Chain A
Amino acid sequence: MPMQKIINEPKAFVDEMLEGILLAHPESLRSPARRVLVRAGAPSEGKVGIVTGGGSGHLPLFLGYVGYGLADGVAVGDVFASPSSEQILEATRAVDGGTGVLYLYGNYGGDVMNFDLAAELASEEGIETSTVLGTDDVASAPAGPESRRRGVAGIALLYKVAGARAEEGASLEDVVAVVERAASGLRSMGVALSPCVVPAAGEPTFSLAAGEMEIGMGIHGEPGVGRGSLEPASEIAGQLVGRIVADLPFRSGDEAAVLVNGLGATPREELYVLFRSVHAALASSGVTVRWTWVGEYATSLEMAGASVSVLRLDDEILRLLDAPCESPFVVRR
């Protein structure tokens, strides 16, 4: 069956997507090197720079978070593949304002390897870097060794926290401290209803029969924790929130930020139906929702499904989430 995609040559997919983004948003973004994007005004002298990166196919992740109050630069990989250390190094050079650079990205083997190597090369050039990983996916590894967990949609909240703190003029050490605290109180769970097709592969990443869902599936189709019949939204919300609350654990009286994220093909209407039940499930655990994002924040091409991320709040984290931000993809005033 031919792919139902609006593309040219599958091989050109990533570069043509980037060309389109640069043509559409020249006032916001520039490209200092191939497959590297930074804020048009980068570097900001004296401000801690924030570099992220990862595979393509997840818009607005990762490049959509390059903007005011968010990240400063991004290294863009092929679909679902890590960018190179050289791209990361180019992004690092382009955003270094003299006060160090934070590497903030999701915990995947290839990305970790290339960001670590870039950090080593940057240090040879006299640029100080620190790393914080998104490890919010509860389903990806058992509780305990959280460093083995993958990063998924929750990283959007970490960009928000890190970016706002960096705009306040905080030192690299202070930015790292608050992002690490946020990351340690952040948990996500997803559900997939249909697969996606990587353009260069031309085949679905996995198969899921009509009427089935898979709880805990990763954003590249990594196996989840349970496949079963598609349940009503309230049931799905109960399962996702139940696992999230038990894992941290969230306690009665906690306040939280919630991100309900669509994986690409699930309409916003359904996301709000899901959020309604997520809100109720959290309330029944005694967790109060103080801050919300509902929409597409980390997709997996045309995969259908959603994820729920819950972040435990304190005064500083809530202040940073409430601060303004602006990128071509994410705006908060």
Chain B
Amino acid sequence: MTASGLAGYLSVAADAVEGSAAELNRLDGYAGDGDLGITMSQAAEALKDVLAGSEGLSVGQLLSSCGAAIARSAPSTSGTLVATGFLRAGKALADPPVDTVEALVRAFEAALKGIEARGKAAVGDRTLVDGLDAVTDSLQLSLSSDLGTAETLELAARSAKAAAEATAEMEPKAGRASWAPERAKGHPDAGCVMLAIAMEAVAAHARSG
């Protein structure tokens, strides 16, 4: 994986998340405080600022800088967790493998582990962790099946979407939504939907180019 390749993926993901801000606010409003779209738009803006000045950064440095910028600009629980994911991914790719799929696996494994620990959430709690876990599983499967990057991202995006839809029927056990679990019922977790939107944009980018 190259830093410029990574920057391309991050840029389309940030645009997609920003474009979905209203939808994310609405979903977060059912059981949270309804500001996930606002917070994640701030994170996306910060990320794009980093990308604009990213020349010369390595893959690991680029991810770590994104993490630090998100922590600075989106100081909420969700921003803190997303920042943690980027920082851990950056550490995991300090010496990145050439193969993009292998790099993605390492990055997502590290991000998942970091976010689980910091957010004290496990798979099944109806949080972003459910989506990340599904994506990580899908990436691992693609790596062991020797699939190419575009196909790998396509499958990962589908897994993210399916995982997000499944959260609608899950009971929230961690995070803000667990304070009023009945209000979350029937609506997908906003964090998982955000991940699905980002992954879909990344998959489309890989498909086109």
Residues of A within 8 A of B (CB): 84-87, 89, 109-110, 113-114, 116-117, 120-121, 124
- CB proximity of A253 to chain B, nearest CB, Å: 39
Chain B's interface size range is 10 to 19
Task: Known A117-B80, A117-B83, A120-B87; judge A86-B72 contact (CB<8 A).
Answer: yes
**18 extra A-B contacts, CB within 8 A, seeds A109-B120, A121-B68:** A84-B71, A84-B72, A84-B80, A85-B80, A85-B83, A86-B75, A87-B75, A89-B71, A113-B77, A113-B80, A113-B118, A113-B119, A116-B118, A117-B83, A120-B84, A120-B87, A121-B71, A124-B64
Q: Is B71 a contact partner of A86 (Cβ separation < 8 A)? A: yes
How distant is the Cα of A89 from the Cα of B64 in the complex, in angstroms? Answer: 15
In the complex, what residues of A have CB within 8 A of residue B120's CB?
A: 109
How distant is the Cα of A87 from the Cα of B68 in the complex, in angstroms? Answer: 12
Q: Mark B54-82, 1 if CB is under 8 A from A, else 0.
A: 00000000001000100110010100110
- CB proximity of A85 to chain B, nearest CB, Å: 5
How distant is the Cα of A116 from the Cα of B84 in the complex, in angstroms? Answer: 10
Question: In the complex, which residue of chain B has the Cβ closest to the Cβ of A116?
Answer: B118
In the complex, what residues of B have CB within 8 A of residue A110's CB?
A: 77
How distant is the Cα of A239 from the Cα of B37 in the complex, in angstroms? Answer: 48
How distant is the Cα of A84 from the Cα of B68 in the complex, in angstroms? Answer: 12
- CB proximity of A93 to chain B, nearest CB, Å: 13
Interface of B is mostly: helix
Question: What are 9 A-B residue pairs whose CB atoms fall within 8 Å in the complex?
Answer: A84-B71, A84-B72, A84-B75, A86-B71, A110-B77, A113-B118, A116-B118, A117-B83, A117-B87
Question: In the complex, which residue of chain A has the Cβ closest to the Cβ of B68?
Answer: A121
Task: Known A109-B120, A110-B77; judge A117-B71 contact (CB<8 A).
Answer: yes
Q: Is B119 a contact partner of A121 (Cβ separation < 8 A)? A: no
Q: Mark B137-149, 1 if CB is under 8 A from A, else 0.
A: 0000000000000
In the complex, what residues of A have CB within 8 A of residue B80's CB?
A: 84-85, 113-114, 117
In the complex, what residues of A have CB within 8 A of residue B71's CB?
A: 84-86, 89, 117, 121
How distant is the Cα of A84 from the Cα of B39 in the complex, in angstroms? Answer: 13
In the complex, what residues of B have CB within 8 A of residue A109's CB?
A: 120
> Which residue, A89, A114, A120, has most C-beta atoms of chain B within 10 A?
A120
9 tightest A-B CB contacts, nearest first: A84-B75, A86-B72, A85-B71, A113-B80, A117-B80, A113-B118, A121-B68, A120-B87, A117-B71
How distant is the Cα of A114 from the Cα of B77 in the complex, in angstroms? Answer: 8
Question: In the complex, which residue of chain B has the Cβ closest to the Cβ of A85?
Answer: B71
Question: In the complex, which residue of chain A has the Cβ closest to the Cβ of B84?
Answer: A117
How distant is the Cα of A90 from the Cα of B72 in the complex, in angstroms? Answer: 10
How distant is the Cα of A116 from the Cα of B77 in the complex, in angstroms? Answer: 12
Task: Known A85-B71, A86-B71; judge A121-B87 contact (CB<8 A).
Answer: yes
In the complex, what residues of A have CB within 8 A of residue B77's CB?
A: 110, 113
- CB proximity of A11 to chain B, nearest CB, Å: 16
In the complex, what residues of B have CB within 8 A of residue A117's CB?
A: 71, 80, 83-84, 87, 118
In the complex, what residues of B have CB within 8 A of residue A121's CB?
A: 68, 71, 87
In the complex, what residues of A have CB within 8 A of residue B64's CB?
A: 124
In the complex, what residues of B have CB within 8 A of residue A113's CB?
A: 77, 80-81, 118-119
In the complex, what residues of A have CB within 8 A of residue B68's CB?
A: 121, 124
Which residues, 154 to 189 on B, are CB-close (under 8 Å) to A?
none
How distant is the Cα of A117 from the Cα of B77 in the complex, in angstroms? Answer: 11
Question: In the complex, which residue of chain B has the Cβ closest to the Cβ of A118?
Answer: B71
